[in-house]
Structure 1
């Protein structure tokens, strides 16, 4: 974290609004703040109702997808209500950037966390006590420190915002024990409104947030989790690094993106592979030195065109709007985690790709990890249920988005912008194939008393007289060469899907050997029919830089710029990069891509015209306007 810019930014109070007055469902003052500070002329979705609830002193729980404007739901009320809005956030490494972004808008903001020295903390504390802050960000562990509670008593708190509220859920995907103490906010300051926000929560997690934070009586706002600008694609894993390289070269050259891997070793090897292939990439995992992690994260946020290769230790709260793709080289453990991670793409509403390479070994590995995990049987059942839902998403022949939204309890219709909509897979009756595979396992166990992995079973079914098959005498089995109607990849797909459906199980021996499950007998006797998915050969469905092709629903995706506007847009991006570097802030703090695209298209000729562009508030127009217009008309 960069401390040289100071731990707090406060000035003339450009963000502070006069006393609110009621106009319909939302205050006129809130709309004025939205336009003057943030540069938007209208609220979206449920924002107006949420903001009005908090402005009037009510509590709220907000479930809203990434990129839908959750931050405005507490930032605007904090600028309308008297006092300082206190934001509790686990995102310690990002607080400086959050403060920088607000400072660029003229909002007085500061933070308190473990990265600061005593002098920096005192500066922030004095500013808060003097009423010189509009927003104060706190790490949750700070509320365990008595002096922090005493500090809040010395000032005027306008609201408490609990960001990333899913962290309170013990069986959610990012549990934080420090969040369990946040019910004290209501006990100590019962008249201060609270707003808890998260981008992802099942009905169970939603209920746990309300219970643990004592927000049962709050108003609950649940927006659609649909991110129509993201194209979801899950492909069969076959040399995943080569598949990733093709994705980046053919569809996302020069784009910023995130690649998730399961292990630290895979992170470092994949990052080096991309660098060797001429793609700028950085590693990020918990095993790296803290300064290295901080530097890599800072570079990713501030530079265009970098690829971050990471474990899930990276990403929560990342506010980079122009992430054009999120790729997974390993199977996520839950749909919640997958949704949260893919949601880091396309925060600006422009087309983005969520790409996952998924194979048999992923299923074997995840099943084995669950069987050998610490915890009681109930814990393993929960992990198994999470994995089953993730596998169902991978194996579905239906719309990915419909399946994804159904997991969060939201009905939907086929989207036209996922792989199963753009190239529908076939389903086929795999009962006989499943019986052949399961019979092979039965014969090996009965006749030889041993179990084997998928590769050896497939060799037997295909009649391959490998050295191992002949040495073990398995070419004499009655099932030898009974499966030649399918290819080796097809047989591996059968194994994968039987594992996904629970019709086959993985031994806990650590070697990936396969055994019958409790439901295998139903297949062997013919009591259960097995429907399987047949993969189709897909053509590329996106053009360079994430442009959608042939999509029936691309949501808020902006149209492609023509050649002239595209050249202007790149010139403005270069100006923005230079400006951001001079100021030591991420490029999006200056302006988002969507704002630069609109400027490139409309070509405003004056500061007044520039002020009508979405995302250009009063402070940014005054601060950047002259230089931007000069770059625009150069």
Structure 2
């Protein structure tokens, strides 16, 4: 049964935006998508993580008659969205395997009674024959498919059950579909439209730029020490640290806990109960740092993640962009840091050799090559990211490590000759670590056993640090003067291009090694000119109310809303409604407690 979808006036959707969600205006593009959806048109929405995709289907769900079915890939993501909608007074539910039979039957009864506006389901549930039959007897107005890149073979997170969603148009040809994603290159976008059989869709491609995120790449010297040094400057802030293996996740999380950080591990090898505990505790600000594999993925809807760190290079830019996009979803300042060792590139490339499908292998290799180029680049990081997604930028961003601390060049001929000579005199049989020890004159048993302390290049570079020489050797590899043989323990060998450098036939320019990254502290809420003491009290109250309702604090109010309260100090209903993020439901539920605190604070100040 399909309800008659009538076009909604602009004032209607603006009314929903203000009264339910507490916002005065739409973000760029939201109103265009919402208008198309309410007029019954298929839509494809490409917006960055934190760009406001959810409102694109939540507002049509409230403006249209009937029910909106939302396809979501993870139970945790469904539960989070439903909790936030219920806090706004919206009738929303989710059906998933975590529910008892009695709970599921109660939701079905409410559906048929017209008491639910948004229903979240996994693609596996949606495509069951009995569920499809049930939907034919319900007034469905819209299908919203979140994380729609999962439907595409070219997407970086292809899922077979998502691929089967192409059957929706067979079952419900008259009901519009909205597909939404934050990460899709041109090939994936075309594939989404084709696979879902979208009919002349309205396609909105928002800016992929997240100007509040600062992109920083740090050369990997002693990554654990680099990590701990950074975390010590982020007390109490929420963050995610991504690693490529479960073993490394366990090791690093244990080291952080030992160092006194409020951290926990998350990966697919842990029991479901433990994973659920970590994700819930992180959402509730009871755990500040999660060390995780990519299994800690799309369910992260937490707006106040202040940093995302990649301990290892990701396999493609789409994954990197999506994972870094989990920082700063509230629009406040955040950081994305990548620890990079050029030697990781050939190691990662070896993984692709196991891919049987040749076409798939080629695509994955090309995507990793783009990621490696991003890591090795000496130009604005944001320009490279945006250009990858076909959003071409001429100007540098001013908020990445390259823009804030531009690479400096120096005449590296002498240090290059020292390094190359050392490799040659050690008979091209050793890796970087050993060559660095030789250059610095390390008194090790291995060097003495090889009689390399008698080489003319022994201790020739003792005035420079380990990190300095590692950076120089990596640059010589990158410039093609040295090559690493990964089949023989990554030993260094000279190339033909090294000969003219050793003979001094031309001047070699190298980048000055960055031995310690510059992290400039940013007051994440400085734009509000707010009372910091009042903000701290408001946060404490928010946590108390959230714990009482058993929801994450951001479900009550996000940090931006609290900062605006600490700036405007509202003490009556009219003033409280002027705060961004406050609608009528939250005014009724939470307004009294927050205004009482503000009145008390002002009286005692």
Fold in common (TM above 0.5): yes
- Partner residue in 2 for 1:559: 527
| Deviations 1:147-169 (CA, angstroms, capped at 9, x unpaired) | 11112111011111110112123
Task: Say if 2:542 is the partner of 1:576.
Answer: yes
- Partner residue in 2 for 1:534: 512
For residue 179 of structure 1, give the secondary structure of its aligned residue in structure 2.
Answer: helix
Contact 1:435 1:524 in 2 (8 A): no
Range 56-65 or range 386-395, more displaced: 386-395
| Deviations 1:124-146 (CA, angstroms, capped at 9, x unpaired) | 22222332211111101113311
Range 584-593 or range 429-438, more displaced: 429-438
For residue 614 of structure 1, give the secondary structure of its aligned residue in structure 2.
Answer: coil
Distance, in Å, in 1 between the alignment partners of 2:529 and 2:287 is 19
Alpha-carbon spacing, 1:436–1:367, altered in 2? closer, same or farther (3 Å)? farther
For residue 366 of structure 1, give the secondary structure of its aligned residue in structure 2.
Answer: helix
- Partner residue in 2 for 1:8: none
Task: Say if 2:268 is the partner of 1:286.
Answer: yes
Distance, in Å, in 1 between the alignment partners of 2:120 and 2:508 is 53
- Partner residue in 1 for 2:581: 615
Alpha-carbon spacing, 1:353–1:304, altered in 2? closer, same or farther (3 Å)? farther
From 571, 575, 593, the equivalent of 1:627 is: 593
Range 145-154 or range 119-128, more displaced: 119-128
Contact 2:42 2:199 in 1 (8 A): no
Contact 2:239 2:290 in 1 (8 A): yes
| Deviations 1:489-535 (CA, angstroms, capped at 9, x unpaired) | 3442244346567876654548344568xxx6567679999875433
Alpha-carbon spacing, 1:185–1:82, altered in 2? closer, same or farther (3 Å)? same
Contact 2:8 2:35 in 1 (8 A): no
Task: Say if 2:377 is the partner of 1:411.
Answer: no
| Deviations 1:55-105 (CA, angstroms, capped at 9, x unpaired) | 101111111111111000011111111111111110222322211111111
Task: Say if 2:523 is the partner of 1:547.
Answer: yes
Deviation at residue 269 of structure 1 after TM alignment: 2.2
Deviation at residue 275 of structure 1 after TM alignment: 2.0
- Structure 2: runs of 5 or more not aligned: 601-605
- Structure 1: runs of 5 or more not aligned: 1-17, 549-556
Task: Say if 2:163 is the partner of 1:180.
Answer: yes
Alpha-carbon spacing, 1:558–1:410, altered in 2? closer, same or farther (3 Å)? farther
Alpha-carbon spacing, 1:454–1:583, altered in 2? closer, same or farther (3 Å)? same
Contact 2:61 2:142 in 1 (8 A): yes
Task: Within 5 Å, give how 1:126-525 maps onto structure 2.
Answer: 126-215=109-198, 217-250=200-233, 252-303=234-285, 306-370=288-352, 372-375=353-356, 378-412=359-393, 413-427=395-409, 452-459=430-437, 467-468=445-446, 471=449, 488-497=466-475, 507=485, 509=487, 511-513=489-491
For residue 20 of structure 2, give the secondary structure of its aligned residue in structure 1.
Answer: helix
Alpha-carbon spacing, 1:367–1:22, altered in 2? closer, same or farther (3 Å)? closer
Contact 1:392 1:500 in 2 (8 A): no
- RMSD across aligned positions (CA): 3.2
- Partner residue in 2 for 1:595: 561
Contact 2:315 2:367 in 1 (8 A): yes
Range 399-408 or range 570-579, more displaced: 399-408
Alpha-carbon spacing, 1:505–1:192, altered in 2? closer, same or farther (3 Å)? farther
Distance, in Å, in 2 between the alignment partners of 1:436 and 1:213 is 60
- Partner residue in 2 for 1:15: none
Deviation at residue 172 of structure 1 after TM alignment: 3.0
TM-score by length of 1: 0.85
- Partner residue in 2 for 1:6: none
Distance, in Å, in 1 between the alignment partners of 2:144 and 2:279 is 25
Contact 2:5 2:38 in 1 (8 A): no
* Number of equivalent positions: 593
Task: Within 5 Å, give how 1:114-133 maps onto structure 2.
Answer: 114-133=97-116
Range 297-306 or range 422-431, more displaced: 422-431
Contact 1:388 1:500 in 2 (8 A): no
TM-score by length of 2: 0.89
Contact 1:20 1:29 in 2 (8 A): no
Contact 1:397 1:533 in 2 (8 A): no
Range 573-582 or range 198-207, more displaced: 198-207
Range 475-484 or range 583-592, more displaced: 475-484
Deviation at residue 359 of structure 1 after TM alignment: 2.3
Distance, in Å, in 2 between the alignment partners of 1:210 and 1:499 is 43
